[in-house]
Amino acid sequence: MNMDLKQQLYEMGQKAKNAASILNTSSSQQKNGFFDFAIEEINAQKDLILKANAQDITNAKDNGKDNAFIDRLTLNKERLDSMCKTLEEIKLFADPVGKILANWDRPNGLNISRVSTPLGVIGLIFESRPNVASDAGGLCLKSGNAVILRSGKDGLRSALAIVAALRSALVKAKLPEDCIQLVPSEQRETATYMLEGLNGAIDVIVPRGGKSLVAEVERSAKVPVFGHLEGICHVYIDNRADQAKALDICINSKMRRTGVCGAAETILIHRDIADIFGPLLIQKLSSLGCEVRGCDKAQLLDARVIPAIEEDWSTEYLAPIVSIKLVNSIGDAVEHINEYGTGHTECIVSENKEAQNQFTSSIDSAILMINASTQFADGGEFGLGGEIGIATGKFHARGPVGIDQLTSFKYIVSGNGQTRS
């Protein structure tokens, strides 16, 4: 055990607690000022950020990382602009802290209010997406929480550069610099210390990354976790679907960005429309460079379809590969999704309200789409001002975890001398 490293992490935890305490009493105006400075600092330091990212990309390629990983790691002017846009959107949201969520009077004259409060200190462990540092910093700050970030080694330089800009913005906004901290080490023990809670400093852990990371976090964490293990997302094409819509939705769900957790991995097609719709879909996917794997019946639709094996139905490809299965009914589609889905995002394409209702009532996933791409499974697209992650558990934070999900509540009970008999 590296005692010096452990002590350093413990000190970061205490600094975060102290910062969160101060932030909890800061005004909405002061918090909003941070966002203006953050955008200013990111733009001022963009060359440094992109230079750091270029080094991360070079190292990742040298280490044999695949194209999907490189895409998630890559920053450019457009993605920096998107980061700034997300920060601006978060700024414009109402302050989620101090909201009166409910209020009622008791017969004895007591008045009870349920009021939103910050969670405290968020520990975020992520792998290769540097923009997560900016999104998480903004979301936590807006919701009154301090955050300790722990980046994977492949994106550490990029994350350090982004966090340096955010910390400069905190100083300019006259907020505690330690509201946003990044673990400066890539040693694995740092994640272990965070999962143990840093001596009671961390209130919630949020993992952002692949299946192995999330599984390790969920297995080892001694504090609550907001997360999802993987995103095996399905699109079901009902026999009452508008086939033009269905084609667009399938292509976008799979191919817009294949390396994100909201990308579709399996497409289920009702057998009544498979002979017409299936070949059109397979042709379009193939023309875009997507490998198509399929069940026995799907293989008869096009010679390019590769036989699917059992493992395909439970694989998150995060690549231009998709599995296609023909089903006899919406019930069969639901049964398949409930067996192989991971509770992330599922989609039905159908013009029939009864079918839509059956689908949404029979599947217990965090996000259910009706006639819309699975790639809308994103906090920004939900109007939440970005997300710190997607959670598939049963806590209050389910689906995209935005600013409202990063709060808890307390009860304020007001009386006039009442005593209990």
**Per-residue pLDDT tens over the stretch 306-332:** 999 999 999 999 899 999 999 999 999
- Average pLDDT for the chain: 93
pLDDT number for residue 229: 65
Q: Choose among 174, 149, 134, 126: nearest CA to 46.
A: 134
Q: Among the CATH numbers 3.30.70.270, 3.40.309.10, 3.40.228.10, 2.60.220.10, which is that of 233-376? A: 3.40.309.10
pLDDT number for residue 227: 74
384: pLDDT strictly greater than 80: no
- Residue 368's pLDDT band, with cuts at 50, 70 and 90, is very high
pLDDT number for residue 381: 84
Residues spanned by CATH 3.40.605.10 within the chain? 3-227+401-414
Cα–Cα separations (whole angstroms), residue 3 to 7, 148, 193, 265, 329: 6, 19, 11, 44, 59
pLDDT number for residue 394: 66
392: pLDDT strictly greater than 90: no
pLDDT number for residue 320: 96
Q: Which residues make beta-bridge pairs with 412?
A: 113
φ/ψ bin of 12: left (φ > 0), alpha (ψ from -120 to 50), beta (otherwise)? alpha
- Residue 402's pLDDT band, with cuts at 50, 70 and 90, is confident
Specify the pTM. Answer: 0.80
The amino acid sitting at 243 is Q
- 3-227+401-414 in CATH: which number? 3.40.605.10
- Residue 385's pLDDT band, with cuts at 50, 70 and 90, is low
Provide, rounded to the nearest whole percent, the portion of the chain with pLDDT above 70.
Answer: 98
**Per-residue pLDDT tens over the stretch 134-178:** 999 999 999 999 999 999 999 999 999 999 999 999 999 999 999
| Strand order through the sheet with 204-208 | 180-182, 146-151, 121-126, 204-208
